[in-house]
Chain A
Amino acid sequence: MSTITIALPSKGRIKEDTAAVFERAGLAISAVGSDRSYRGRIEGMEGVEIAYLSASEIARELASGAVDFGVTGEDLVREGMAGADGRVEFCARLGFGQADVVVAVPEIWLDVETMADLGDVAADFRARHGRRLAIATKYWRLTQQFFSSQHGIQLYRIVESLGATEGAPAAGQADIIVDITSTGSTLRANHLKILSDGVILKSEACLVRARKPGHEQDPRIARIVEAVRAAL
């Protein structure tokens, strides 16, 4: 039987929370070699390997099918691949790592409360400012899907932002942002507000399975999914 690889977050709160869920599920993880090792195994389960990776790498490895399972944020999975639901299965929502991907605009844009308002502003932007409305984000794919498919807004430009995205409007790098937020406090501190219909995705950590041939016949796959679900 082929080895099943489960990719888990390699650091931080999400690593501890994941370990706790697996423990409750009766899938206690032990490190291979030292505690700092990035490989592990599940006690009492043969042929199952744990690979500790960064959260965004986990999404990538799921997309390529290099791992069978991964625990990572839904936002990273959906951002990382087109047609996510056809390529992976979200087996369980784990109840931690909650964060929303949202559209936020400067608080002082008193006239912009909804995506429809933003559509009006975007349509006019070039005529008024000589350039398209600029959105700072690291979520290219989620932004495009939400703006074009769901709200018919085509005319904007994405400015890549890999950190401190909330500061982009005040710094003049972009007009608005699409970013992740859990409590909204950083947005508020930067005088940004979330549009009333501007929540693109309510994300949390998920157990995600890459849809691979052979999984249906493998009892270990069903057992892992059942055990994690039962522990929630």
Chain B
Amino acid sequence: MPLIDMPDFSTDLLAEFAARRTERVNTPVIQPAEPFLDMAGEDLRRRIFLTESETGANLCLRPEFTIPVCLRHIETATGTPKRYSYLGEVFRQRREGSHEFYQAGIEDLGNKDIASSDARAIGDATGILKALLPGRKLALTLGDQAVFEAVVKALGLPFGWQRRLIHAFGDMAHLEALLERLARPQPVTGLDPQIAEMIASDNEADLVVHIDRTMQETGYSTNASRSPTEIARRLKEKLELAETRLDGTALLLLREFLTLQLPLAEAPAALAGFADAAGLKLGPAVSRFDARLAALANADADLSAMTYRAAFGRPLDYYTGLVFEVTEAGSSAVLAGGGRFDRLLTLLGAKEHIPAVGFSLWLDRIEAARASR
């Protein structure tokens, strides 16, 4: 059923999707809200249109396509690899612009060749934008969560600190706060002396018994979500982490890494130089970064329009590697955004691990860009 308010370039767009060998899928506009809130967090609640079914189930107007397309893939169990495309309306509460607008995109599920499927997603996004905006100069910014993870691991921080930093990647304010704590550790104070003693003497069993008994006495046991062992172990880990100090050099290195921003073609040399100077082994993450770049070069991508920014990431726990955004050169309006989300399908209930990469196109912004010529 053709909708009369679809962007005038929709036919061209669908032809691009077909030429790029994707299977077009549609998903219902009314979606269960839980998967979106679970994956993206409660913050999303303010930005989506929520309603309730007669039976009290939370429903929302489709705020994006990735989760519905992935859920549909899991339900239909059609096997991988699969390349899906979509074009339809999404609904979000926004300060600027309309609350309902069209989005289109490609989700590439189950392709085991990470480098070439990353390159293909970038190639598809930029290729389609070039076709829709002929003669315009585009700019692509690329980030890679895996490289940041490798840097953090190579610095030799305790696992708990690695986890904290990786979790904050993409949220610069949060990351800065963590670096501040690493520079100036604050020992934990005010701990019950009896408990401090059990931890000092590494007596986990007694601590667990103590916590368990208190839970029983306070009537908390029946529905306790966190077990006595979990609490005891994290308490011990917390005390250790509180004393971790990252020395000045390492802290400078981490900050230096986060300020890296340079033409993508120069990134491998810069990362190698950084690793050498810092004496860090970045291993497979950097070779995967290089392999992706080689795949892009192989596919004749315009590398001169691509920038690597080391701090660019999305602070959501299902993003795992590549993230990218495409704008018109000199503009801040994101026309296409994408990335790799290898963890999403298992989080949504897929039985096996399904690597995934994709992007979406902001059709209202593309329309505005076409009109601004």
Contact = CB atoms under 8 A, between A and B. Distances in A.
Contacts of A140: 42, 45
B160 interface: yes
A121 B190 CA distance: 20
Given A108-B214, A113-B190, A132-B38, A120 B43 contact: no
Given A108-B220, A129-B225, A155-B317, A148 B215 contact: no
B316 interface: yes
A91 interface: no
Given A108-B218, A111-B235, A123 B164 contact: yes
A128 interface: yes
Contact of A121 (B188, B191, B234): B234
Contacts of B230: 128
Interface stretch (A22-30, A52-60, A167-175, A206-214): A167-175
Interface stretch (B21-29, B166-174, B271-279): B166-174
A80 interface: no
B211 to A, nearest CB: 6
A28 B259 CA distance: 63
Contacts of A123: 163-164, 167, 317
Given A123-B163, A154-B316, A170 B43 contact: no
Interface in B168-198: 168, 171, 173-174, 177, 181, 188, 190-192, 195
Interface string A171-191: 110010000000000000001
With most chain A CB atoms within 10 A of its CB, the pick from B41, B174, B192, B218 is B41
Nearest to B226: A109
Interface string A132-168: 1000000011011001100110111110000000000
Given A148-B43, A152-B173, A152-B315, A108 B163 contact: no
B339 to A, nearest CB: 17
B223 A170 contact: yes
A107 interface: yes
A155 B343 CA distance: 15
A172 B223 contact: yes
B37 interface: yes
Contacts of B232: 110
A205 to B, nearest CB: 27
A191 B316 contact: no
Instruction: Give the dominant DSSP class at B's interface.
Output: helix
A70 interface: no
A147 B160 CA distance: 21
A106 interface: yes
Interface string B217-228: 011101111100
Nearest to A129: B225
Contacts of A129: 225-226
19 contacts: A110-B192, A110-B231, A116-B181, A120-B164, A121-B234, A129-B225, A131-B38, A144-B45, A148-B41, A152-B168, A152-B171, A152-B315, A155-B41, A157-B42, A158-B42, A158-B45, A170-B223, A172-B222, A175-B225
Given A82-B46, A151-B174, A170-B218, 13 more contacts: A107-B214, A108-B224, A110-B232, A111-B238, A113-B188, A116-B181, A126-B347, A129-B226, A144-B43, A152-B315, A154-B43, A156-B42, A170-B223
Q: Which 3 A-B pairs have the closest CB atoms?
A: A172-B223, A152-B174, A154-B41
